[in-house]
Amino acid sequence: MLGRVNHVAIAVPDLAAAAESYRATLGANVTEPQALPEHGVRVVFVTLPNTKVELLEPLGEASPIAAFLAKNPAGGMHHICYEVADIMAARDRLKAAGARVLGDGTPKIGAHGKPVLFLHPKDFHGTLIELEEV
């Protein structure tokens, strides 16, 4: 069911500073910031030869990233995103196996313009998992 790792997401308190750190210190290629109001975040992607790193900051106090940063003020790993060929089939298989899909189970459009779902971290050993249809 799982394809390749699409990205690892890191929550940061200051997106501009984090992007500049990756760009200036690590010499990374960093995309322009993108607001995703439906997800309550602003993101950039660090593009690597084999995957991406997503840096994300909250868009307002209601953002789930704001709650994450309240517990982890310096930021940290937020989730890992895996690619799937058919997000609805993956969702149905996971639900049948007892995994909890966050929200109402309807995929939302993610930063890459493709459907995404999130899986409850308690079902995956403390790791929030995002699935993205490719």
**Strand pairing class (76-84; 108-109):** unpaired
Active-site annotation holds for 61: no
Nearest-angstrom CA–CA distance, 82 and 5? 5
pLDDT given at position 105: 95
Output the pLDDT for position 89.
98
Q: pLDDT tens-digit profile of 17-48? A: 999 999 999 999 999 999 999 999 999 999 99
Helix (H) or strand (E) holding 111: none
Structure tokens at 82: 């895996």
Pairing state between β 128-133 and 115-119 = antiparallel
Whole-structure pTM value: 0.95
Q: For residue 123, what is the domain's CATH number?
A: 3.10.180.10
Place of tokens 């953002």: 63
Structure tokens at 62: 């209601």
Q: How confident is the prediction along the chain (134 residues), in pLDDT tens digits per residue?
A: 999 999 999 999 999 999 999 999 999 999 999 999 999 999 999 999 999 999 999 999 999 999 999 999 999 999 999 999 999 999 999 999 999 999 999 999 999 999 999 999 999 999 999 999 99
Q: How many angstroms separate the first and last alpha carbons of the chain?
A: 12
Q: What residue numbers bound the domain in which 102 lies?
A: 5-133
Which of 20, 32, 54, 130 is catalytic? The answer is 130
Per-residue tokens: 110: 């993610």
Looking at the 3D structure of the chain, how many domains does it have?
Answer: 1
For residue 5, the model assigns a pLDDT of 98
